[in-house]
Structure 1
Amino acid sequence: MTSVPRIDVDDPDVDMDHAQRLLYRGTPFTGEVAEYQDEQLISLDEYTEGVLHGKSREWYRDGTLRSEGTVRDGRAWGEFKEWHPNGTLRSRKYFDSSPASLREEDTWDEQGAALTSWRRDNG
């Protein structure tokens, strides 16, 4: 099994080009891009040829999952979830491939009580 390259977003060899692609040592990067705060992993994103493409995850400083979802060609795609610091689901969003891609959104408070529910009309 081949290991996936991982770089730190704060590495001095990381840059962006005019097309907003992530570069590592001058080349569009393919692999995982991590962000750390005081040595604690707080985000991990997958890139292909310098473009956000794949899993996208964030954590609170205590290691609790904060959000996760999938990105295709730099745009949210499918289900994205966010959690409150106590681990309770905060929101669930669903994106499709259309230009106005947010199709559904539900939110909850820290106790898990539903706050909002929204669906975009297909018409």
Structure 2
Amino acid sequence: MKRRIDIDDDDVDMDVEGRLFYGGEPYSGEVAEYLRGALISLDDYVDGWPHGMQREWYANGEPRGEGVARNGLPSGEHKEWHSNGRLASKKIFSAERGELLAEYFWDEEGNSTRAWKATED
């Protein structure tokens, strides 16, 4: 089982670059955030950087967002949902540099509201 800490723990700190420390050392493991006892986010970290799954939930337990980070940068497909469970957005990032390649948005009824895709050079 992975080591897990609460983001609100007094021993948690973050530097100006966004690197997370626990007890003064770069942290590796899961970082959880709770709201009134409900788990609302759970992120994987390696050496202080987001690396692995990044997940968020509404307080009622329904999914709010998910994606993957690699060495502190977004990687691959990231999704967010409206509180009614419908997909709100999907963003696609390059695996290497975290560059945004495409993004899509939907309203709460599931209608497409905006789409963008990077042009190939």
Task: Report the TM-score when normalising by structure 1.
Answer: 0.92
Matches within 5 A, 1:1-123: 3-17=1-15, 20-97=18-95, 101-123=99-121
Q: Any conservation in 1 of the 2:5–2:30 contact (CA below 8 Å)?
A: yes
Unaligned runs of at least 5 residues, structure 2: none
Cα pair distance change 1:19/1:105, threshold 3 Å: closer
The count of corresponding residues between Structure 1 and Structure 2 is: 121
Letter of the aligned partner of 2:14 in structure 1?
M
Q: What's the offset of the Cα at 1:116?
A: 1.2
Unaligned runs of at least 5 residues, structure 1: none
Cα pair distance change 1:94/1:7, threshold 3 Å: same
Alpha-carbon distance between aligned partners in 2 of 1:37 and 1:97, rounded to the nearest angstrom: 31
Which range is displaced more, 88-97 or 10-19?
10-19
Alpha-carbon distance between aligned partners in 2 of 1:91 and 1:85, rounded to the nearest angstrom: 12
Q: Deviations over 1:7-35 (max 9, x none)?
A: 00000111124654211111111100000
Q: What's the offset of the Cα at 1:101?
A: 0.5
Q: Any conservation in 1 of the 2:75–2:96 contact (CA below 8 Å)?
A: no
Cα pair distance change 1:121/1:99, threshold 3 Å: same
